[in-house]
Structure 1
Amino acid sequence: MKFMEEIHRNGLVVEELNKSFIVLIPKCINLKSMKDFRPISLVGALYKILAKVLANRKWKVINSVVGESQMAFVRNRQILDSLVITEEIIHQWKKSREGGFLVKLDFEKAYDSLDHSFLDFMLKEMGFGWHWRKWVSCCISTPRLSVLVNGSPTRQFGIERGFRQGDPLSPFLFNVAVEGLSAVFKKAEAMDLMKGISFGGNVVHVTHLQFTDDTILYL
């Protein structure tokens, strides 16, 4: 485990340990363009150990840094919670005959588009220390990737933004980043620009719910 000690001490990930092959997994039967494929990164075993250690550490504190609106990759929460809440809201709208709007937002190429400097900003705002942020930065900014085409790898290239699908850290880091969007909605509510809806005898008030890259607004 010398490589773990080196990473812990210096915050550096050896480039050879952070190489990945990208395979394209079909999303549908009738393939017409590159949009019909999902790129999955095959990361190395040693790197997976490191990423899993960091992910497990973050799993312990995720509830304290990610808001209640996020339903994915958070302890004691699941997508069924958002479905139940949405059904209850729609039922209340029908019952009261007041009506309302549901707006669904979806990130296009969500994992590929996030800026690393913004992620570091969010981690800092959430109280993560310099060492932790350095480890995360090394994990997501140093990979060398190559695409497997007919079983043969292309020339390697680096990564400037986004996360790898297949990296154990990616779901947690994405949650951290999209918490910034949740903060915008909360500020809009505080400024009375968004009202949301209350139900259950006004015990529960909701403006939005998130499931990784999917967001539902209740207006």
Structure 2
Amino acid sequence: MMLRELDIPKILPSQLALLYKDFTDEEIRRAMFSLNGAKTPGLDSFSAEFFKKHWNTVGQIVTLAAKRFLKTGFLLKEWNHSILCLVNRLKHAMPDLISNTQHVFLTGRQMTDNILLSHEAYEFPPHWIHMIHQCISTVSYSVLLNGDMSQQFKPTRELRQEDPLSSYLFLFCMNILSRMLDIGYALKMFEGIKLPRRGPSISHLFFEDDALLFFRATKSCCQTVTNILHRFCKVSG
């Protein structure tokens, strides 16, 4: 089951226009002020609260640095707060692109390379794909122990779960699995369940760290769902 067979919704022209639009000073300021001020500070020991409190002094420098990344697509490894600007604009496109079976991270609902491939499937602009790759590939950490800073190291999973961008990348990837299950159900490769009996049939629901799959407990249905999950693993890495 290839990506082109999944009938993935494409980003709308109006949403593309918003993504191509130049970022404003106010957007960058709002992104900074949306940060939790008590979060772990960077290598310069300055937390987000410092930048908020002294925005009148440092705001212009931060804004220029953020705009440089958003214009060129190249991100300083030591400075990564500007990804929040990407998140703010991604929010506008999410409801039209993500399946209703995903009940997490989206307003109004209750709850690496392969990632970039899924973004290409949605037909995101190449510049945006490049910026997201920069946000993923430039992540590094140091450990502060008894006042001594360790050498920098790169995480194997690259984006931690609390990262503002990670939840949106998660949604795009899991939406691929949702559509694979939808197609399998539509082709009657397996049967879902109905709650109540006259209600719509349900095959799956996704939450923040859980996935519920609903199907008849038969050998053929189990084999079909297992095959879909194996195919998704190959696509997602």
Whether TM-score is above 0.5 comes out as yes
Aligned counterparts of 1:117 and 1:202: Cα–Cα separation in 2: 43
Aligned counterparts of 2:208 and 2:99: Cα–Cα separation in 1: 12
Q: Alignment length, in residue pairs?
A: 153
Aligned counterparts of 2:125 and 2:198: Cα–Cα separation in 1: 38
User: Which residue of structure 2 lines up, in the alignment, with residue 106 of structure 1?
Assistant: none
User: Which residue of structure 1 lines up, in the alignment, with residue 207 of structure 2?
Assistant: 211
User: Which residue of structure 1 lines up, in the alignment, with residue 69 of structure 2?
Assistant: 7
User: Which residue of structure 2 lines up, in the alignment, with residue 146 of structure 1?
Assistant: 142
Pair 1:168 & 2:164 matched: yes
Aligned counterparts of 2:147 and 2:202: Cα–Cα separation in 1: 48
Q: CA deviation at 1:190?
A: 2.5
1:31-74 C-alpha deviation (Å, 9 max, x unpaired): xxxxxxxxxxxxxxxx33x1221111111111111101100011
> Please, which of 33, 56, 64 is the counterpart of residue 88 of structure 2?
56
Contact 2:139 2:158 survives alignment (8 Å): no
User: Which residue of structure 2 lines up, in the alignment, with residue 189 of structure 1?
Assistant: 185
1:78-120 C-alpha deviation (Å, 9 max, x unpaired): 03xxxxxxxxxxxxxxxxxxxxxxxxxxxxxxxxxxxx01100
Q: CA deviation at 1:200?
A: 5.2
Change (3 A) 1:197 1:12: same
Greater relative contact order: 1 or 2 (C-alpha under 8 angstroms, separation 6 or more)?
1
User: Which residue of structure 2 lines up, in the alignment, with residue 42 of structure 1?
Assistant: none
Question: What TM-score comes out, normalization by structure 2 length?
Answer: 0.59
Q: Choose 203-212 or 70-79, whichever is displaced more.
A: 203-212
Aligned counterparts of 1:162 and 1:16: Cα–Cα separation in 2: 15
The one-letter amino acid of 1:54's match is: L
Change (3 A) 1:10 1:71: same
Contact 1:62 1:75 survives alignment (8 Å): no
Q: CA deviation at 1:212?
A: 2.8
- Structure 2 spans left out of the alignment, 5+ residues: 1-62, 216-237
> Please, which of 44, 56, 68 is the counterpart of residue 100 of structure 2?
68
Aligned counterparts of 1:161 and 1:52: Cα–Cα separation in 2: 19
1:9-39 C-alpha deviation (Å, 9 max, x unpaired): 210001221xxxxxxxxxxxxxxxxxxxxxx
Change (3 A) 1:181 1:150: farther
Aligned counterparts of 2:147 and 2:189: Cα–Cα separation in 1: 53
- Structure 1 spans left out of the alignment, 5+ residues: 18-46, 80-115
The one-letter amino acid of 2:74's match is: L
Contact 1:185 1:194 survives alignment (8 Å): no
User: Which residue of structure 2 lines up, in the alignment, with residue 36 of structure 1?
Assistant: none
Q: CA deviation at 1:201?
A: 6.5
How much is the aligned-residue C-alpha RMSD, in angstroms? 2.0
Pair 1:122 & 2:118 matched: yes
Q: CA deviation at 1:130?
A: 0.7
> Please, which of 176, 181, 203 is the counterpart of residue 180 of structure 1?
176
Aligned counterparts of 1:210 and 1:178: Cα–Cα separation in 2: 8
- Percent identity of paired positions between Structure 1 and Structure 2: 28
Aligned counterparts of 2:200 and 2:177: Cα–Cα separation in 1: 21
Question: What TM-score comes out, normalization by structure 1 length?
Answer: 0.63
